[in-house]
Amino acid sequence: MRTFEDLTYYEIFEVPINASSFEIRQAYRNALSIYGDDSTISYAFFTKEERAKILKRVEEAFSTLINDDKREQYDKILVDKNIIDSSSLTKKRPKVATPIFSAKSSGGRAVLRKIESAIKGKDLKAIVDDILSTGAVSGKDLQRLRTAVGIRIEDVFEVTRISVATLQAIENDLVEALPPTVYLRNFLKDYAELLHADPERITAGYLKNLDRISRSS
Amino acid sequence: MAHICAIGGGKGGSGKTFISANLGVILATHGKKVILIDLDLGASNLHTLVAQHHPKTGLHHFLNRSVKDLSLTAEATDVRGLFLITSLRCSLEAGNLFYSQKQKIIRAIGQLPADFVLLDIGAGTTYNTLDFFLAADQGLFILTPEPTSIQNTVQFIKAIYLRKLKLILKQDAFTILAKEVANESNDGVVMSPLDIVDRVMKREPERAKYLEGELNKLTFRLILNQHRSHIDSHLGQKIEKVCNRHFYSQFKFLGNIAHNERVSDSIIAKKIFVLKYPYTATTTDLKSLANRIVATRIEQPAIREEYAYV
C-alpha cells in the first residue's frame, strides 16, 4: 500500500491529470469535508497531529494545482520522475453529456419494442379467431393469448401501466378485484391493442363472459 | 456450506441487533434457510426483535453439554425458514467466555446446515467480539452518522486489525516482533496497528510483502444506519475512502439505512419491523442490503429477480 505521503496531488484529489480548475476546486472542497477541522470523519480517524499533517498536504496540493505556473512545474517533476506520461498532460477529454431526464422512464418503450418484435414472428390470427369464436372471452383466453406471444404480465404493465394486481384479476376473472366497468373497458381495450387483437370484440366478449359469471354465482 | 455473516460495530445502540433480525427475516422470506445467532453474550435481545418471546432452548444447552450438536439448539421462528439460537438463558457470566468454549462455538457455527448464518455480535472490542467477527465469511460494520459511533468504529477496526496482526505474527515466525508488540501493548498503550506494520516493514522488508498481502485479504463492509435526510449523503462513501486510504485492508460501503421513528414502535410492540412496516424507506434499504449480501456470495443475486416488479 502507498501511504498518504506517497500520493501525488492528483491522486489526493482523485482528479485526472488534465483536470480543469473547476474540478480541482470541487475536489478540494470534497477533501476538506473529509480531512477538514470540522469533519466528523477526520475527528474520529486521526489524532490532532496526524490531521494537521494531512491537512497541510491537502492545502499544498490545492495551492499548487490551482496556480498555473506552480502546476506546470509540478507536472514537470512528475514527468521527470516517470510517475506520469507527458502525453496525458495535453490530452483533451471529451465532455460527457449529462442526461436531463432519468433513463428509467424509457423502460416502457423498450418493452413495447420487445413485444412488437415478439408478435411479428408469430401467427396469432388462429388463436385470436379461436378466442372470439364463442363470443364470450374469459380471462384465461387473454392469458393464453399473452403466453402465446411469450411475454410476462409485468411487460404488459410496463407498457400499459395497468397495475399487475389488476391484470391478474382480469386474467383470473376475479370479479371482486376488478375495477369499475368504466375503467375495465379501457384496460381491456389497451390490453387487446397491445396484443394486436380486435379491441371492440375482446372488450364486448369479456364483459359478456363477466356477466355470465356473476349471474351464475 | 453456510455463509457466515458477522454483524458488529463498536458502539452500542447503533442497530446491530435490529439489522441482524430484519436481514434474517428478509433472507428467509426469499426462500433462504437462515440461522440467527445471538452472540451478544450477557445482553441478549435478538429473540425479542424476531418475536420469539419464550425460547425453550438456546446456546446454554450447547455450552453445558446437554446437547452435542449446535443445530439442535436452533429454534424455528414464526417466519418460515428462519431459525434462532438465543443466548438468553446462558449464565450471567457468559460474557466472559473461556477460550476453549469460544473455539467450540466457532467450530460448530461453521457446520450449521443453513444458507446463511447471521451472527449478532455485541458492542465493545473484547476478544470474544473480535474473534467471532474474524471467524465469519463476511463482516458487516454498523455505524451511525454520529462522531461517537464513527470513533468507536475506528477503534473496532483497529482492534480487529491488531488481533489479526498478532495472529499472523505468531503464526509465521515473527515471534520476536510479536513479543515486542505484545509487551508494548501491555504497558497500557496499545500501539496503532499501522505503526506495527510500519515497524515490521522497516525491520524485515522481505516479510513485509507477505504481511501486507495477508492484511489485504481482510474485507470489511460498512453500513450506515439511522441515516437522516439532512446528513451528507456521501458520508458512507467518504468513510470508505478514508479507510481504504489509511488502512491496509479493503473496505466496502454497502449503503445507508434510513432512520425511522417506527423502528422504536416496532421494538416496543415486540414485532418484526420489516413485516409490520413493509412500505417504508427503511425496509427498502434493508432489502437492497440483503440483495448486496446475497450478491457477494453468489454471482447471480437470487433476490433481485423477484423484487423486480413487486
Spell out the alpha helix ranges (H) of chain A: 9-13, 21-35, 40-45, 48-65, 68-80, 87-90, 107-120, 125-133, 139-149, 153-160, 164-171, 181-194, 199-216
Give me the pLDDT at residue B160, please. 85
Chain A contact probe: residue of B141, B146, B245 with most A CBs at under 10 A: B245
Contacts of B238 in chain A (CB under 8 A): 30, 33-34, 41
Lowest mean pLDDT among A95-104, A105-114, B135-144: A95-104
Spell out the alpha helix ranges (H) of B50-192: 59-63, 99-110, 127-135, 147-171, 175-186
Cell numbers placing B51: 418475536
Q: What is the mean pLDDT of chain A?
A: 86
Q: Give me the phi and psi of B143, to 5 degrees please.
A: -135, 160
Tell me the pLDDT tens digit for each residue of A149-203.
Answer: 888 898 888 888 889 899 999 999 988 889 999 999 999 999 999 988 889 999 9
Whether B215 contacts B167, CB under 8 Å? no
Give me the pLDDT at residue B302, please. 37
Cell numbers placing B219: 474485507
Give me the pLDDT at residue B287, please. 94
Chain A contact probe: residue of B11, B14, B150, B211 with most A CBs at under 10 A: B150
Give me the pLDDT at residue B172, please. 60
Annotate B174-207 with DSSP letters as a single string: -HHHHHHHHHHHHTT-PPPHHHHHHHHHHH-HHH
Alpha carbon of B221: minimum distance to chain A alpha carbons (Å):
17
What pLDDT tens digit does each residue of chain B (310 aa) get? Answer: 789 999 998 788 899 999 999 999 999 999 999 999 999 988 899 999 999 999 999 999 999 999 999 999 999 999 999 999 999 988 888 888 888 999 999 999 999 999 999 999 988 888 888 999 988 888 899 999 999 999 998 888 888 878 887 777 776 666 566 666 656 554 545 556 667 777 777 777 777 777 778 788 888 899 999 999 888 888 999 999 998 888 888 899 999 999 999 999 999 999 999 999 999 999 999 999 999 988 877 543 333 333 333 3
Contacts of A33 in chain B (CB under 8 A): 232, 238
Closest chain B residue to A157 measured between Cα atoms? Answer: B309
Largest Cα–Cα separation, chain A: 91
Q: Give me the phi and psi of A164, to 5 degrees please.
A: -60, -40
Closest chain B residue to A38 measured between Cα atoms? Answer: B147
Residue window 245-284, chain B: list those with CB within 8 Å of chain A. Answer: 245-246, 248
Residue window 173-192, chain B: list those with CB within 8 Å of chain A. Answer: none
For chain A, say whether B151 makes contact (Cβ under 8 Å).
Answer: yes
DSSP state for residue B112 in the 8-state scheme: -
CA distance B262 to B257: 13
Q: Give me the phi and psi of B133, to 5 degrees please.
A: -65, -45
Which amino acid belongs to residue B43? A
Is the predicted pLDDT of residue A103 greater than 60, yes or no? no
Cell numbers placing B258: 434510513
Whether B257 contacts B21, CB under 8 Å? no
Closest chain B residue to A35 measured between Cα atoms? Answer: B242
Mean predicted confidence (pLDDT) in A24-53: 89
Cell numbers placing A192: 387487446
Nearest CB among A4, A33, A154 relative to B238 is that of: A33
Q: Give me the phi and psi of A21, to 5 degrees please.
A: -65, -30
Nearest CB among B212, B242, B248 relative to A41 is that of: B242
DSSP state for residue B44 in the 8-state scheme: -
Helix axes A21-35, B235-246, angle to 10 degrees: 80
Give me the pLDDT at residue A97, please. 62
Task: Indicate the length of chain A as a whole number.
Answer: 217
Give me the pLDDT at residue A106, please. 54
CA distance B109 to B35: 10
B273 against A98, higher pLDDT: B273
What contacts 24+ positions apart, CB below 8 Å, involve A64-72?
A64/A9, A65/A9, A65/A10, A65/A13, A65/A19, A65/A21, A65/A24, A66/A21, A66/A24, A66/A25, A66/A28
Give me the pLDDT at residue B305, please. 35
If one counts every other C-beta atom within 10 angstroms of the C-beta of residue A133, the result is 9
Tell me the pLDDT tens digit for each residue of A56-93.
Answer: 999 999 999 999 999 999 999 988 888 877 777 776 66
B181 against A49, higher pLDDT: A49
CA distance A12 to A62: 10
Give me the pLDDT at residue A18, please. 85
If one counts every other C-beta atom within 10 angstroms of the C-beta of residue A67, the result is 13
